[in-house]
């Protein structure tokens, strides 16, 4: 057993649980022991209870749970700046995809690369995520789109867990796009996903979730339902890219299928908002994507919150639409573009993300939770999203160990 550690003097401790004043603790301290939070409370009480503990002086700083990035596509080969150039000349993201670029450009590239090469490319990207406060990251496959390449990506994602301090959660996204050679027989591709990929992924226990990009131009509601139901039969929990650019009732389908989350939601309808609010599906917002694509259709965060939905913020890190693994920037946009409060943004990027990943043991600083925490060099929590694009981090502890 390790000696307990206590964090004292912080201007604020953000618990990650509440979006009102209960979520901001002043004059408080945290004790951690054996990789878990042992106690959170008034400094005098914690000092008395853990008299022999080593102290970490956090005077003038803010402590939050480690950030949980619940939506990334972090394993890929080359960057796709040529498309950025094309979009600057007026070509739309989905139009580039229809012409065989976009996701399929990454697919062509990934298929040529070895497992070890892709793994080495991903490692510094995960270090960058960590450097902006992320301690748990979800990573999707979806740049393989054939049985072997999808399994290759998921094996890499699982292997990454052994090579980084971050917790890595794998998601199978064989239905990211219809590969070019299946464009005139898409039914065959859906059957490949349901009858071959899903059983193989589940057989090797390579993923926790099954995701689908449901969007006009990608997968229809019927196809999405078939794929997510096949996934569930094999023990993969459903998740969707939903109503990103155009409304297609994807949020409603997420609620109906009891998905873990519905992600993007830039074009969610009122019915979709109500459906998500009544369900356990987390509404995961990915504003960096819209910023990067130069679009203005941000998800209606305020209406989702008012309706009672659980909201998460994630980075969507990928080479096409969000080429930076920075959840702090997502929080900034949550506040600047979607009118979330800084505390709501922090809760969305911690316990919201954890709920979207169905991880009960993190995203909050409460007794029993994993001791994943970030000490920020800021005077108050609003300064975290405010410091747009720069993460003023003093230190990160993961499972109780300083990184
Ligand atoms: O979440 N929308 C679909 N998937 C990604 C983009 C992936 C890519 O363009 O490579 C997203 O934005
Ligand atoms: Fe995505």
196: Cα separation from own chain's centroid: 27
Residues 60-72: tens digit of each pLDDT: 999 999 999 999 9
Separation of alpha carbons 333 and 381, rounded Å: 15
pLDDT per residue as tens digits for the range 173-228: 999 999 999 999 999 999 999 999 999 999 999 999 999 999 999 999 999 999 99
**Model pLDDT for residues 156-179, shown as the tens digit of each residue:** 999 999 999 999 999 999 999 999
- Asked whether the beta carbons of 163 and 119 are under 8 A apart, the reply is yes
Bridge-based pairing state of the strands 36-42 and 373-376: unpaired
Ligand 1 centre to CA of 357 (Å) is 19
State whether the beta carbon of 292 lies less than 6 angstroms from ligand 1.
no
Beta bridge partners of 65: 373
Encoding tokens for residue 164?
A: 């980084």
Output the CA torsion 322→256→182→119 (10° steps). 40
Q: Which ligand is nearest to the CA of 105?
A: 1
Q: What does the alpha-carbon distance between residue 348 and residue 82 come to, in Å, rounded to a whole number?
A: 33
| Ligand 1 atom with minimal separation from the 213 CA | 3
CB atoms within 10 A of CB 184: 8
pLDDT for 199 equals: 98
* pTM of the complete model: 0.97
What's the 247 CA to ligand 2 centre distance in angstroms?
16
Cβ(241) to ligand 1 under 6 A? yes
Helix (H, G, I), strand (E, B) or coil at 1: coil
d(CA 293, CA 295): 5
DSSP codes of every residue in 22-40: GGEESSEEEEEETTEEEEE
Helix (H, G, I), strand (E, B) or coil at 291: helix
Mean pLDDT of the chain: 97
Say how far apart CA 137 and CA 257 lie, in whole Å. Answer: 24
Question: What integer pLDDT is reported at residue 100 of this predicted model?
Answer: 84
**Whether 290 contacts 46, CB under 8 Å:** no
Tell me how far apart the alpha carbons of residues 218 and 232 are, in angstroms, rounded to a whole number.
21
Lowest mean pLDDT among 93-102, 308-317, 337-346: 93-102
Q: Is the CB of 317 under 6 A from ligand 1?
A: no
Q: Band the pLDDT of 1: cuts 50, 70, 90.
A: low
CA of 373 to the centre of ligand 2 (A): 26
Alpha carbon 264 to chain centroid, angstroms: 11
CA–centroid distance, 292 to ligand 2, in Å, is: 13
Which pLDDT value is given to residue 3? 81
Query: What is the best residue among 72, 92, 176 to mutate for testing ligand 1's pocket, by most ligand atoms within 8 Å of CB?
Result: 176
Residue having the nearest C-alpha atom to atom 9 of ligand 1 = 320
For range 128-145, the mean pLDDT: 98
For β-strands 393-398 and 401-402, DSSP reports them as antiparallel
pLDDT-above-70 percentage for the chain: 100
The answer to whether the beta carbons of residues 324 and 286 sit under 8 Å apart is: no
């Amino acid at each position: 057993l390790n000696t307990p550690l206590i964090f004292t003097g912080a201007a604020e401790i953000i618990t990650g649980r509440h979006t009102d004043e209960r979520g901001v603790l002043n004059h408080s301290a945290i004790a951690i022991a054996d990789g878990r939070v042992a106690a959170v409370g008034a400094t005098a009480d914690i000092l008395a209870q853990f008299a022999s503990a080593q102290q970490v002086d956090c005077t003038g700083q803010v402590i939050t749970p480690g950030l949980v990035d619940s939506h990334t596509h972090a394993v890929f080969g080359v960057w796709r700046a040529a498309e950025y150039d094309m979009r600057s000349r007026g070509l739309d993201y989905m139009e580039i995809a229809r012409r065989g670029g976009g996701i399929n450009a990454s697919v062509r590239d990934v298929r040529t690369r070895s497992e070890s090469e892709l793994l080495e490319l991903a490692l510094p990207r995960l270090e960058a995520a960590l450097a902006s406060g992320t301690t748990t990251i979800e990573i999707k496959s979806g740049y393989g789109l054939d049985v072997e390449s999808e399994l290759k990506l998921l094996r890499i994602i699982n292997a990454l867990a052994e090579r980084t301090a971050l917790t890595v959660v794998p998601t199978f996204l064989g239905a990211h796009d219809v590969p070019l050679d299946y464009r005139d027989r898409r039914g065959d591709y859906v059957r490949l996903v349901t009858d071959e990929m899903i059983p193989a992924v589940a057989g090797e226990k390579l993923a926790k979730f099954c995701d689908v990009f449901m969007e006009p131009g990608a997968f229809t509601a019927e196809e999405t339902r078939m794929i997510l139901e096949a996934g569930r039969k094999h023990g993969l929990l459903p998740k969707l890219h939903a109503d990103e650019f155009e409304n297609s009732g994807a949020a409603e389908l997420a609620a109906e299928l009891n998905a873990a989350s519905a992600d993007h939601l830039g074009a969610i309808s009122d019915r979709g908002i109500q459906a998500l609010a009544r369900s356990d599906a987390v509404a995961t917002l990915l504003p960096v994507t819209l910023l990067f694509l130069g679009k203005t259709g941000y998800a209606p965060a305020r209406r989702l919150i008012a309706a009672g939905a659980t909201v998460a913020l994630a980075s969507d890190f990928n080479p096409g639409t969000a080429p930076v693994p920075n959840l702090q920037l997502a929080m900034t946009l949550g506040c600047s573009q979607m009118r979330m409060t800084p505390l709501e943004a922090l809760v969305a990027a911690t316990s919201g993300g954890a709920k979207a990943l169905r991880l009960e043991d993190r995203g909050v600083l409460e007794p029993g939770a994993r001791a994943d925490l970030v000490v920020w060099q800021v005077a108050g929590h609003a300064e975290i999203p405010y410091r747009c694009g720069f993460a003023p981090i003093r230190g990160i502890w993961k499972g109780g160990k300083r990184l």
